[in-house]
Amino acid sequence: MRIKFKNCPWLDIQLDNTNLAQQWEDLVKSNYKNDPTPIFRDQQDYNISKLESLAKEANEKLGWDWQTEILDLAHTTLMHKDIEKFLANGFSNIPEEYDDLLHEIHYCLHSVESGCKRASWLQIEWYNDEGFAIDENEYPAKINLEFGDIRLQNPYVGHHPLYLYEQRDNINIMQTCKFHNLAKPGINIVIEKKEPIIFNWDRYLSWFNTHGKEFVNYYGIETLKKFTGHPVVGKVTNLDALEFCLEMPVLAFEALDF
């Protein structure tokens, strides 16, 4: 599989030899065949000014009462909780006319939290209801993300357990924490460079038992453990080409090749 951004070399992707990776590739291939112009957003184009403008629009169209001067991470975290609550039953249960606005706000929130620069991921996605369930025994569960990893697009507004633990987000875990149990037609390329962490299961489970006891009791420790980690299904093999893409002043999607 290969990915092309305009004026950039092809990114060569080596997918994992798993049933999940093959199913996901077939899903992406089918969507690309039906619509060769998926949505791509560049993180550096989503800044605080844009988020404040989107907050005003949300207040007008959704009747919300958001403060429109964005102050800090605590503020954006609370805004995220409002979106989680609004979309608790999924996009299919709200008027379609609000979909783009909510997607824009959600993306912009995370971009602002990443410093309004290409710091976390590049994501190519299609907006539809296509996808398939991921069995807990097939979930990849990679603890340490690496530069160039290909991970599955988050299908929910909430976050998977390891993300919450890393962010120490203990506000309403029952609402926010979502197992990544659904594969959607989206490509997420990890561009963050992080030092590997030494993962301590005892501390991790203790944190969830302390802050998310209701969640643990509802789903069980074994399911929590199986869905702990990042849903990685492959990797960019020519990392120099990915570095080239990140240096481009303007980045736009061009093509896929299978």
Terminal Cα-to-Cα distance of the chain (whole angstroms): 4
Which tokens hold the place of 43? Answer: 């993180």
| pLDDT computed for residue 241 by the predictor | 98
- Specify the amino acid at residue 8: C
Report phi then psi at 33, rounded to 5: -65, -40
| pLDDT computed for residue 71 by the predictor | 63
DSSP 8-state secondary structure symbol assigned to residue 249: S
| pLDDT computed for residue 130 by the predictor | 94
Q: Spell out, as residue ranges, where the chain has pLDDT lower than 50.
A: none
pLDDT tens by residue, 107-162 = 888 788 877 788 889 999 998 889 999 999 999 999 999 999 999 999 988 899 99
| pLDDT computed for residue 231 by the predictor | 97
The pTM is what? Answer: 0.85
The chain-wide mean pLDDT, for the chain, equals 92
Q: Where are the domains of the chain?
A: 11-238
| pLDDT computed for residue 46 by the predictor | 85
Cβ neighbours of residue 53 closer than 8 Å, sequence gap 6 or more = none
| pLDDT computed for residue 227 by the predictor | 98
Q: Which of 240, 16, 42 is nearest to 150 (CA)?
A: 16
Q: Which of 245, 256, 26, 237 is nearest to 118 (CA)?
A: 245
DSSP 8-state secondary structure symbol assigned to residue 43: G
Q: Which of 188, 229, 187, 252 is nearest to 27 (CA)?
A: 187
